[in-house]
Amino acid sequence: MFELEPVIGLEIHLQLKTKSKMFCSCPVKDGAEPNTLICPVCLGHPGTLPFLNKKAVEYAQLLCLALNCQINQKTKFDRKNYFYPDLPKGYQISQYDLPLGKDGYLVFISDGQEIKIGIERIHLEEDTAKLIHFPQENYTLIDFNRAGIPLLEIVSKPEIKTPSQAKKFLQELQLIARYLGISDAEMEKGQMRCDANISLRQKGSKELNPKTEIKNLNSFRAVERSLEYEIKRQKKLWLEKKPPKAPSTRGWDENKGQTFEQRVKEEISDYRYFPEPDIPPLEFSKKELEAIKKKRIPELPLEKRKRFKKEYELSFSDIEVLVSQNDLADYFEEVVTELKKRVPTLGELEGSEEEIWQLSKKKIIKLADAWIINRLRKILAEKGVKLKDCLVTPEKMADLIIVVYQNKINSPTAKSVLEKMVLEGKDVLSIIQEENLEQINQREDLEKIVEEIIKNNPQQVEEYKKGKVNLIQFFIGLVMKKTKGRAEPELVKNILKEKLEN
């Protein structure tokens, strides 16, 4: 039996974050009461006329440019005809033969390698209504609030090789949409949905066999798991010499962890496309497209990863954490900028400001990285505070890191101080002074405290000398208690060893 390989393509629907719907002025809002954000236009009443949302077109152009697509200078809308309960007009205004963008690509990182996947097309359309099923009661309700929300469909080329790559593709697309500010792209809220197409073929072949489309996947995990299941199912069919003979669609049962048959897939002719008569074609000049690209495309995730690696020498995992939240990455860079101002003023090294920064850079950036990723993020999550509402400005965070860098307070004390900064907005020096928290790192002072503790605990001293060396932590704890956490732990440990082993 020859070796089989999967051929995977994705069709992603991305809701655009506009204030109003695609073809009417109804507002777009999360959490509204069902069927309250509707009008005769988005409900498809006879005699109504659609009018185009300009912002949706601009957002679509941004994504086309970010995904390296060729934008058609002339494009139009079409009617896609099919009857389904969630389609109020009985047709969907979409794009067929002249999509907004085509022939692009997306580069992402999978298993440490850069993967480049082609983008077949990107087109604009309107979303459908939302069906809410009650299977036990045997009825379904419809919420038309979603009907008419601007939607982008992104169709990849069938070049994805593994379920893991499919998940990474989607995660990168989600990041790009968020960096551009065109969509929150939250799958659990239906703002990004995915249909995954998969077929198998003999390894090395270029032939495309009839595909199976897994519909309406609403999480990265569901995309990966459903494709893994389909690969196993289809391999079994091939081994039984019963490979799929026609395109079909299947659903995904998350609880059972398996796909199930829905129907034979429609052909393009079944949709009876024809040009939308109520919306004139759109034309864009090359000058307009260049202006958009120059003014509006920010640094995208892949570029940011590469720059962070080069400039800050961070680990791959830490870079992923920072880049996955654009506001967190911006916050980190603002803190580093503040640290660059402060380090040369500490008087610890000689040289020009740039020379001092270069000598200190690696250690202090690593410190900033650790405190922002491991401490600040955790405290914000525990307190339910969003970064944009955080009272710890980049300037205040830089002050805390400088204090830690200079060993003026130890790590546990610094964590406690940071919690107060998050809750109260005070600066680090005020808290240290008010609560007398500055670290005791004078050897003479600590020696006196250590000698007193050794004198008061003769039994533990005897046990330590007999080989129970773990008791060092007991003595360190007593010193920390005596100093209210202000003693420098490593210095305390060294002094204790000297005194106990003499």
Per-residue pLDDT tens digits for 414-445: 999 999 999 999 999 899 888 877 767 677 77
Residues 329, 423: one domain?
A: yes
Dihedral angle at the C-alpha atoms of 445, 447, 452, 455, nearest 10 degrees? -170
Average pLDDT of the chain to the nearest whole number: 91
**pTM for this prediction:** 0.87
Residues 228 and 377 in one domain: no
Q: How many structural domains is the chain composed of? A: 3
Residue 267: per-residue pLDDT: 67
Residue 483 and residue 409: Cα distance in Å, rounded? 12
Is 8 in the same domain as 24? yes
- 291 and 308 inside one domain: no
Last residue of a domain, one of 295, 316, 341: 295
How would you classify residue 159: left for phi > 0, otherwise alpha for psi between -120 and 50, otherwise beta? alpha
Length of the chain equals 502
pLDDT above 60: residue 183: yes
Q: Does residue 359 sit in the same domain as residue 471?
A: no
| Whether 431 and 447 share a structural domain | no
Q: Which residue's entry shows tokens 């004198």?
A: 455
Burial 175-192 (b: 16+ CB within 10 A, else e): bbbbbbebbebebeebbb
Report how far residue 393's alpha carbon sits from residue 80's, in angstroms, rounded to the nearest whole number. Answer: 51
Q: Which of 295, 330, 355 lies at the terminal end of a domain, its last residue? A: 295
With a CB cutoff of 8 Å and minimum separation 6, the contacts of 210 are 199, 244, 245, 246, 247, 248
String of DSSP letters for 67-120: TTPEEPSEE--EEEE---TT-TTSEEEE--SS-SEEEEEEEEEETTEEEEEEEE
Could you report the per-residue pLDDT of 129-145, keeping only the tens digit for each?
Answer: 999 989 889 999 999 99
E strand spans, 168-218: 192-202, 212-217
Q: Are residues 240 and 309 in the same domain?
A: no
Beta strands in 16-82 (DSSP E): 70-71, 74-75, 78-81
323-351: average pLDDT: 92
Instruction: Give pLDDT, residue 186.
Output: 96
Location of structure tokens 């002050």:
399
Burial group, residue 367, by CB count within 10 angstroms (0-12, 13-18, 19+): middle
| Tokens at 188, concatenated | 């659990």
Q: For residue range 33-89, list pLDDT tens digits in order.
A: 999 999 999 999 999 999 999 999 999 999 999 999 999 999 999 999 988 889 999
| C-alpha to C-alpha distance for 224 and 74, rounded to whole angstroms | 37
Instruction: Centre a 10 Å sphere on the Cβ of residue 16 and count the other Cβ atoms it contains.
Output: 26
Question: Distance (Å, rounded) from C-alpha 16 to C-alpha 149?
Answer: 8
The answer to which of 7-11, 169-173, 368-372, 477-481 has the lowest mean pLDDT is: 477-481
Could you give the CA distance from residue 181 to residue 167 in angstroms, rounded to a whole number?
A: 21
Q: Token pair for residue 219?
A: 């999480």
Identify the pLDDT of residue 421: 95
Classify the phi-psi angles of 384: left when phi > 0, otherwise alpha if psi is within -120 to 50, otherwise beta. Answer: left
Residue 16 in this model has a pLDDT that exceeds 80? yes
pLDDT of 312: 96
Which CATH number do you get for residue 488? 1.10.10.410
- Determine the structural domain holding residue 202 and report its residue range: 4-295
**Same domain (yes/no): 286, 412:** no
**DSSP three-state, residue 258:** strand
Pick from 276, 295, 314: which residue ends a domain? 295
176 and 239 share one domain: yes
Is residue 164 pLDDT above 70, yes or no? Answer: yes
For tokens 């697309």, the residue is 173
Whether 109 contacts 115, CB under 8 Å:
yes
Asked whether residue 160 falls in the same domain as residue 72, the answer is: yes
Query: Is the pLDDT confidence value at 265 over 70?
Result: no
